[in-house]
């Protein structure tokens, strides 16, 4: 499988999918300057390509420990694998760092990306484990905070532009 890369996902698809996933983050709040970035492909299952959202690192993350579904990208960002979801490749745009005009933001993205590449096998292994645990649906705290992956796969398959 290719290296994990950074992507943007079409806002219409995110809006569509959010009806099926209460944990799904929208791409951009009115106060945000930049659209949310996603890492992918974290893994493939049943012909679906899964992507995971990146979230900005916040003060609360300093004291939080990494878990199977929560990974820190140093003090730059966090990856929430419990919120990963399937996306048709027609709805993703690869991030070209050279297109980013804000040099500070470009530098941040590059730093995030370098670290993500260094832990990509851990990300993929954890993503597959989270997926399998959710399918077992044993009532655990992890299962309760995860997206319903099978429901999202059906929504993804039914998606029409």
Residue 137 has a pLDDT of 85
* Contact present, 149 and 48 (Cβ < 8 Å): no
| Structural domain boundaries in the chain | 5-158
Would you give the DSSP letter of residue 66?
P
| DSSP-based three-state secondary structure for 128 | helix
139 phi-psi bin (left φ>0, alpha ψ -120 to 50, beta other): left
- Domain covering 5-158 assigned CATH 3.30.420.40 in the classification: no
* Contact present, 106 and 34 (Cβ < 8 Å): no
d(CA 91, CA 122): 25
Q: How far is CA 144 from the centre of its chain?
A: 18
Which residues, including other chains, have CB under 8 Å from residue 101's CB and lie 6 or more apart?
A: none
Report, as ranges of residue numbers, the positions in the chain whose pLDDT lies below 70.
1, 30
Residue 161 has a pLDDT of 78
* Contact present, 42 and 81 (Cβ < 8 Å): yes
* Contact present, 54 and 79 (Cβ < 8 Å): yes
Q: Structure tokens of 71?
A: 């990974």
Residue 43 has a pLDDT of 93
d(CA 149, CA 160): 19
């Amino acid at each position: 499988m290719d290296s994990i890369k950074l992507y943007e996902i079409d806002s219409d698809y995110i809006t569509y999918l959010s009806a099926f996933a209460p944990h799904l983050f929208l791409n951009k709040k009115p106060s945000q300057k930049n659209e949310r970035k996603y890492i992918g492909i974290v893994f493939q299952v049943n012909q679906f390509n899964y992507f995971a959202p990146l979230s900005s690192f916040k003060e609360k993350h300093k004291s939080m420990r990494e878990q199977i579904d929560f990974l820190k990208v140093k003090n730059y960002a966090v990856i929430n694998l419990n919120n990963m979801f399937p996306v048709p490749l027609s709805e993703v745009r690869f991030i070209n760092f050279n297109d980013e005009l804000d040099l500070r933001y470009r530098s941040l993205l590059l730093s995030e990306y370098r670290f993500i590449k260094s832990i990509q096998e851990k990300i993929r292994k954890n993503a597959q484990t989270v997926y399998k645990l959710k399918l077992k649906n044993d009532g655990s705290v992890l299962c309760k905070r995860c997206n319903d992956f099978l429901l999202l796969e059906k929504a993804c398959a039914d998606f029409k532009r």
